[in-house]
Chain A
């Protein structure tokens, strides 16, 4: 067993801590964030309120835990959309390499890549109204071509191998080979890409919520908290620092984990990594 790369450890610990805190918020938070205690507004950090309170007297730490829920959920579901639609498309393209289906799928991919994602996400939320669901769809759409491309690229190299030839001789069809033999062999690639898209999704959700196009109040999300804090950066910069650090820690953790996993799972790039 090879030693796990250090960055994988650091990344896994960072993201697990934040993920657990968000999950814990379903069961318990230090304070209730649904009731407003105006008398306790804008308290400085203390033993009772570890990170202090906001302008409605809500505990910042509890809000961070609950906010993480939405941020993480949006990013994870967007990755899910990308995988569920993108991977079969990529597998289909690879199975029909050079055919018209391959051409249509890949040109369609290029087309989505050509769009400025943020502008389209804004357009989607502008048409259908701002909500976490529409943020998921907007971010998810742009994950589709990424996974399609990764799946196709990975699948193409597997298709040339001998055990695939054996499966074909055994009379298995393209779809069955793709599902039974190709998919398990490109799972590594998909997991690594999934981690990276997860981190990009956190950033995208934060951006959309920050401009008011993601989760709507009273739902807390990290980006939403930053938007609320913006007006108070003169008097209470503390409010803007905590959610920002949460985003940075989550994204950094996921990126390190993605890089570490890639190094671990793909020996070819272990030597010349970026």
Chain B
């Protein structure tokens, strides 16, 4: 087990190094001079020189790269050029929106998908199964940002149950804040729930035909008892993996949804930074998101190996 964790940790570290190199190259090397890129065509040479100095652009490329990575490890993400505040502060502030949103969406999608997948598997081949499978096909095909627009049209414009966007902040109270996150979370959860329900159904169908299920029935357990005690637990393993992967997807994938609802999350921060050419923010926030995704994948792998010893041996 230790060996497994160590190899996975090594590949985690390697992924992070490559990721940071790619991001550094994309932001600081390929566009040419970042300072003139940030300030635009009409900038005074003195301003460009001042910014070059502030960003430390006069150093060599390896020195700049090491400075950036070293800063991130010690929690120094640089200073935002447009906001004039440390990037770490901006990120902490925006995470208060993005993280609860991702968790909210994940809970919704899990709570919908598991029972729905269970019903479809139990009613396999019946109208209920066909209806559920049809609905999930549709759920996968709907772009989540378009679904978000439809939700706004119905629940904000027509029924006026929710506001069309914006975020009151957690200071306004938990209820108004959660209310503002509800439509975005639903929009994010729908395609995820569709995928998850299909995984749940097929994994349960796989398990139901296993020999140990026949043994359980032969012992005298009813179908419901055998499903609850033996099938469900085994069927949930692949479902849990997908849930783990979906969480990282939700964190990064909320970018577009945050734009539909004008939520001040990490996604909007990246977009604003791109339009304002605030490269310091873009570079660090992108790296942070990549880090989060790679870390979650690593944790899922390790958790999976803990549950299922067979996976500890390398593929």
B274 touches A122 (CB 8 A): yes
Q: How far is the CA of A252 from the CA of B251 in the complex (A)?
A: 25
Report B121-157 CB contacts with A as 1/0, cut-off 8 Å.
0000000000000000110111101100110110001
8 Å CB contact of A252 from B137, B252, B286: B137
B206 to chain A: which residues have CB within 8 Å?
272
B293 touches A115 (CB 8 A): yes
A187 on the B face (CB < 8 A): no
Known: A116-B252, A244-B149. A251 touches B141 (CB 8 A): yes
8 Å CB contact of A123 from B14, B26, B253: B26
B109 on the A face (CB < 8 A): no
| B253 to A, closest residue via Cβ | A118
A207 touches B143 (CB 8 A): yes
| B294 to A, closest residue via Cβ | A114
| B201 to A, closest residue via Cβ | A274
B271 touches A116 (CB 8 A): no
B205 on the A face (CB < 8 A): yes
Known: A124-B26, A226-B145. A234 touches B157 (CB 8 A): yes
B198 touches A274 (CB 8 A): yes
How many interface residues does A have (CB within 8 Å)? 39
A237 to chain B: which residues have CB within 8 Å?
153, 157
A248 to chain B: which residues have CB within 8 Å?
138, 141-143, 146
Q: How far is the CA of A273 from the CA of B205 in the complex (A)?
A: 10
How many interface residues does B have (CB within 8 Å)? 48
A107 on the B face (CB < 8 A): yes
B182 on the A face (CB < 8 A): no
Known: A126-B274, A233-B149, A252-B137. A116 touches B289 (CB 8 A): yes
Report A223-263 CB contacts with B as 1/0, cut-off 8 Å.
10010011001100100110010011001100110000000
Report B187-212 CB contacts with A as 1/0, cut-off 8 Å.
00000000000110110011000000
Question: Measured between C-beta atoms, what is the minimum distance from B116 to chain A in Å?
Answer: 14
A2 on the B face (CB < 8 A): no
B27 touches A127 (CB 8 A): yes
B260 on the A face (CB < 8 A): yes
B255 touches A119 (CB 8 A): yes
B143 touches A123 (CB 8 A): no
Query: Which of B11, B142, B145, B206 has the most chain A CB atoms inside 10 A of its CB?
Result: B145
B30 on the A face (CB < 8 A): yes
Q: How far is the CA of A223 from the CA of B259 in the complex (A)?
A: 14
Known: A210-B256, A244-B146, A272-B205. A255 touches B137 (CB 8 A): yes
8 Å CB contact of A119 from B145, B205, B252: B252
Q: What 4 pairs between A and B have smallest CB-CB spacing?
A: A116-B252, A251-B141, A252-B141, A244-B146
List residues of chain A with CB under 8 Å of any chain B CB. Answer: 107, 110-111, 114-116, 118-119, 122-124, 126-128, 199, 203, 206-207, 210-211, 223, 226, 229-230, 233-234, 237, 240-241, 244, 247-248, 251-252, 255-256, 272-274
The 27 sampled A-B contact pairs (Cβ below 8 Å) are: A111-B19, A114-B19, A114-B294, A116-B248, A116-B252, A118-B253, A118-B256, A119-B286, A119-B289, A122-B271, A122-B274, A123-B27, A127-B26, A127-B27, A127-B31, A206-B146, A207-B145, A207-B256, A211-B271, A223-B143, A226-B146, A226-B149, A230-B149, A248-B143, A252-B137, A255-B137, A255-B140
